[in-house]
Structure 1
Amino acid sequence: MATASTNGAPILVASNRGPVSYALDETTGELTAKRGGGGLVSGLSAIGPEAGAVWVCSALSEGDREAVRRGIVGAGPEAPPQKGGGGRRAGEAGVRMLDIDAATHADAYNGIANSVLWFVHHMLYQTPLEPVFDAEFRRQWASYETYNRAFAEALAEEAGEGAAVLVQDYHLVLVPRMLRELRPDLRIGHFSHTPWAPPEYFRMLPDDIAAKVLGGILGADRAAFLTQRWADAFTDCCHAVLGPGIPSGTRIGVHGLGADADFLRGRAHEADVDERMISLREQIGTAPDGSPRRSIVRVDRTELSKNIVRGLLAYGQLLEDEPSWRERVVHVALAYPSRQDLKVYRDYMDEVRRVAEAINSRYGTADWTPVVLHLKDDFARSLAAYRLADVALVNPIRDGMNLVAKEVPVVSDEGCALVLSREAGAYEELGEDAVVVNPYDIVGTARALHEALSLPVGERGERMKRLAAAATALPPTRWFLDQLHALDD
């Protein structure tokens, strides 16, 4: 691993969202910091504060921007300041938050990253009508370049001689090339957390933009992905767009991020989770014969690629095709808001509500609500749902990995069957012990739900043990360190 440098940070991470966020009390002017979650935050903790790492991220809220203006960002992901000052000190993990012009950020984040690159990699376009790469797209692309350049310049300023820089995801695909031009001495890695589109879909992008996306990542010494499938797709796109070979000599790697078992198991047995379990069990209720009802659980953001609507339709098909499950099973659907500043996402959340209400109207009784839908984000409730689930439904159209599929087997109390889309990255590791579905096939998914509900308890438990072992094979700390060490190879 890299050692500390007197000239700057030896290890740097760059991502749109940072490890800390700030909320501003408009009455008192007080700033309150909240530590972020996720595998990257957990992974960075593996190197310890003594490494002097720096995380470069974007200010996303007015609280974040005010924290930058006051000069108080910088205590790092482990212990963000609660109020007042506290810049980064020598030898301590730090955060550099970039106060990029709000309009530029909106163009880059919503206009390009989330409305173009995300749609391409998840193959979400309704191609008779979209995409339309017009003058407005070009204007937003210029903002995306400006946004990426701000990151590259900040990383160049913060990095020590020969430092290792790990650039994250589709928001920052241009950074490796830009940074390479500014600091050729650095060791640069790029990690893609999304799927990667096959060439025939990726080439919907204008030719020059497709070349810039690929060329940006090829500025890195190493480009890494969650699965071999996505890595191969990237290589295929390079060949199709840029010609045979990887001209920059960029090495390709795969690191399948796993679940953080110790954290999840500890957090899942705290008092607030127990309280949520009591509430969920009351909502699920008991069957007419007095036995506990079975539960089919899903936990997702209302992201278009998560396929929540088809999951609900498949559950409705189950109740139609297998009437014996009526009043004996409940679908607990935790569908949390995502990207509500985009109309297509607001419309999708409305459709989730509509389909859930239609199922409840058609099949519900005075004593049975077939779909229990929660739309307010609540991590403790998610863990409670994991613990009590008989079946977990994970049916994305496409997903880079899908950590829910890996987290449920780790947390489940009694053993949970997993119904898993073959288009989730997690399928590569978990498919053998899951009930696998084509995410577009409503009838097939209904049959899979019936099969999963019907699994004998013993078989369900054995499958869950194997799923949990596979799901935790590369925990966040090792996932992060493996990427860091690979830059030294």
Structure 2
Amino acid sequence: MLDVGERRLTIVSNRGPITYTRVDGERVASRAGGGLVSALRGLVRSHRVTWIACAVTAEDRTVASEQRGHAVPEEDAAGNPFLLRLAEPDPADFDRAYHEVANPLLWFIQHELYDLGQAPIVSDDTRAAWAAYRRYNATMAAAAATEYDADALMVHDYQLYLVPAMLRKAGVTTPILHFTHIPWPAPEAWRLLPVDLRTELLHGLLGADIVGLQTARDVRNFLATCDEHLTEVTIDFDLRTVHVVNDHQERDVLIRHYPISVDPDEFYEHITAPEMIAATAELTESRPWHLILRVDRTDPSKNIDRGFHAYDRLLTRRPDLHGAVSLLTLLDPSRLSIPAYATYFETVQATCAEINARHGRDGWLPIDLRIGDNFPVVIAAYQQYDVLLVNALADGMNLIAKEAPLLNETDGVVVLSERAGAYEELEPFVLGIDPLDIEATAAQLERAIDLPAADRAARSLELKQFLLKHDVSRWIDLQLGDLDALTEARR
């Protein structure tokens, strides 16, 4: 095995750990704190990392021009040093790649969100957008190919499905791992993409040495997808490999699952910040006897509207809870430039207003809907909830279901969708639901509220212990271990 201190790693992702803007004529570097960046912070802390990301803002593009095709020293939000290279795709290509192919086309296919009576409509315009997606991937691959003097290349997510094969074609021999953060659906879902496009997508991923996914179910679906949609590969379902023959070369691609998680220490640090303490004190003072919590982006896959209807059913069947319970809903608006997202956001707000009008009374708001990115309130709510509702239609993992229980101080119960990736790991500790069934969801919310204190405490403790053991470091270590084994096998 490679010594941990000797690893040189190249990360390739759509968005990077830093975004540049210009304020009052001065350049401002904003350190990102999203899920991907937070998850990869352990790599930056412990290894020599070169991070290749897309130049998105105008100032990003200025920085990319100044870099002249080279990676330059930077620091992440925790002060850990790394090298940053911003690739500069054509802005029009990036716009179509991101706003037409990645979202909504691939996102909706992989979360199985399309109403097939209306969408998608595949046309010449779809193929033009796909060509832009291909050119965007080529730009990212070209940048990575010049920065691959590393022990491993780690490519991330659905925006960059074509990059591994492009790197392979460019002559890169470094082990490549591509990790997909969103769900991988069953083979039938991929028939929504034309044959040539889905074939290109699958072969793009199979350019990697390891295809990483979130769950064992995703691995089974990926193997089945290759088996059904590709003719020139051989699938071994037991060994979880795809045997590929390209350009007279044969390779076995490993298909593995690495359940992403969170950094407990990072979240424990949050609760000691003054703004977090103030938000917690305010919520403690104002909270109802029973606090149900949901924290989501306004994405159709999060199933917020059905969650509201399930809560409506709970209030109808349990009038004794009126005035004693509240559904605190913290929503972060997402991708509102995409019509389907904007329409869904409007629907969610309308449903909330209807339920509050039907059940509310002076001094009691059944649904406390708060829109915007307010991290201190999120951290406070994590500590205070009695029931956490996660009823996603589909999720690669859903880190809310892991973050919140770590910080919870009230023996809160998690009501979790069986279609969230996290359910595969957390089933023994949560109350599972079919996200389409609002009656069953209401019943599980009721059960969570009524659970005896001893049962609540036992579930909470066991879940915390599991999450502390299965943290983000384990997610990283599993991937690095498989990459190390590949390197050793080639020596």
Query: Is the pair's TM-score, using the shorter chain for normalization, greater than 0.5?
Result: yes
Residue 294 of structure 2, aligned match among 295, 298, 301: 298
Alignment of 1:187-336 (within 5 A): 187-243=175-231, 244-245=234-235, 246-248=242-244, 249-284=252-287, 292-336=288-332
Shift of 1:281: 4.0
Are 1:190 and 1:217, in contact at CA under 8 Å, matched by a contact in 2?
Answer: yes
Shift of 1:352: 1.3
Shift of 1:164: 0.6
Amino acid at match of 1:143: A
Q: Does 1:475 align with 2:467?
A: no
Q: Does 1:361 align with 2:350?
A: no
Are 1:408 and 1:416, in contact at CA under 8 Å, matched by a contact in 2?
Answer: no
SS in 1 for 2:182: coil
Distance change >3 Å, CA 206–CA 154, structure 1 → 2: same
Shift of 1:48: 5.1
Distance change >3 Å, CA 300–CA 103, structure 1 → 2: same
Alignment of 1:32-431 (within 5 A): 32-38=28-34, 40-47=36-43, 51-71=47-67, 74-78=72-76, 93-160=82-149, 163-243=151-231, 244-245=234-235, 246-248=242-244, 249-284=252-287, 292-431=288-427
Q: Which moved more, 1:254-263 or 1:165-174?
A: 254-263
Amino acid at match of 2:18: V
Q: How far apart, CA to CA, are the structure 2 residues paired with 1:200 and 1:439?
A: 21
Shift of 1:330: 0.3
Amino acid at match of 1:238: C
Structure 1 unaligned blocks of 5 or more: 82-90, 285-291
Q: How far apart, CA to CA, are the structure 2 residues paired with 1:61 and 1:23?
A: 7
Structure 1 residue aligned with 2:460: 464
Structure 2 residue aligned with 1:23: 21
Are 2:398 and 2:422, in contact at CA under 8 Å, matched by a contact in 1?
Answer: yes
Q: Which moved more, 1:134-143 or 1:292-301?
A: 292-301
Q: Which structure would you say has the larger RCO, counting Cα contacts within 8 Å and 6 or more residues apart?
A: 1
Q: How far apart, CA to CA, are the structure 2 residues paired with 1:470 and 1:31?
A: 43
Distance change >3 Å, CA 76–CA 235, structure 1 → 2: farther
Aligned residues: 468
Distance change >3 Å, CA 414–CA 4, structure 1 → 2: closer
SS in 1 for 2:193: coil
Q: How far apart, CA to CA, are the structure 1 residues paired with 2:401 and 2:457?
A: 16
Q: Does 1:450 align with 2:461?
A: no
Q: How far apart, CA to CA, are the structure 1 residues paired with 2:77 and 2:263?
A: 20
Structure 1 residue aligned with 2:239: none
Q: How far apart, CA to CA, are the structure 2 residues paired with 1:121 and 1:77?
A: 34
Q: How far apart, CA to CA, are the structure 2 residues paired with 1:124 and 1:271?
A: 41
Q: How far apart, CA to CA, are the structure 1 residues paired with 2:460 and 2:53?
A: 37
Amino acid at match of 2:194: P
Distance change >3 Å, CA 43–CA 305, structure 1 → 2: closer
Distance change >3 Å, CA 42–CA 361, structure 1 → 2: closer
SS in 1 for 2:470: coil
Are 2:179 and 2:213, in contact at CA under 8 Å, matched by a contact in 1?
Answer: yes
Distance change >3 Å, CA 316–CA 50, structure 1 → 2: closer
Are 1:258 and 1:472, in contact at CA under 8 Å, matched by a contact in 2?
Answer: no
Q: How far apart, CA to CA, are the structure 2 residues paired with 1:217 and 1:30?
A: 40
Amino acid at match of 1:426: A
Deviations along 1:109-138, one digit per CA (max 9) or x if unpaired, are 111011111111100000111111101000
TM norm structure 2: 0.90
Structure 2 unaligned blocks of 5 or more: 236-241, 245-251, 486-491
Q: How far apart, CA to CA, are the structure 1 residues paired with 2:44 and 2:171?
A: 25
Q: Does 1:13 align with 2:11?
A: yes
Q: How far apart, CA to CA, are the structure 2 residues paired with 1:135 and 1:60?
A: 26
TM norm structure 1: 0.91
Q: Which moved more, 1:228-237 or 1:176-185?
A: 176-185
Are 2:215 and 2:259, in contact at CA under 8 Å, matched by a contact in 1?
Answer: yes
Are 1:386 and 1:408, in contact at CA under 8 Å, matched by a contact in 2?
Answer: yes
Runs of 4+ in 1 over 6 A off after TM superposition: 3-6
Q: How far apart, CA to CA, are the structure 1 residues paired with 2:210 and 2:5?
A: 22
Distance change >3 Å, CA 239–CA 481, structure 1 → 2: same
**Aligned-pair RMSD on alpha carbons?**
2.3
SS in 1 for 2:243: coil
Structure 1 residue aligned with 2:489: none
SS in 1 for 2:179: strand
Are 2:5 and 2:46, in contact at CA under 8 Å, matched by a contact in 1?
Answer: no
Are 1:44 and 1:477, in contact at CA under 8 Å, matched by a contact in 2?
Answer: no
Q: How far apart, CA to CA, are the structure 1 residues paired with 2:278 and 2:34?
A: 24
Are 1:35 and 1:80, in contact at CA under 8 Å, matched by a contact in 2?
Answer: no
Q: How far apart, CA to CA, are the structure 2 residues paired with 1:377 and 1:79?
A: 18
Are 1:417 and 1:463, in contact at CA under 8 Å, matched by a contact in 2?
Answer: yes
Shift of 1:38: 4.2
Shift of 1:472: 3.4
SS in 1 for 2:336: coil
Are 1:406 and 1:472, in contact at CA under 8 Å, matched by a contact in 2?
Answer: no
Q: How far apart, CA to CA, are the structure 2 residues paired with 1:447 and 1:258?
A: 29
Amino acid at match of 1:76: E
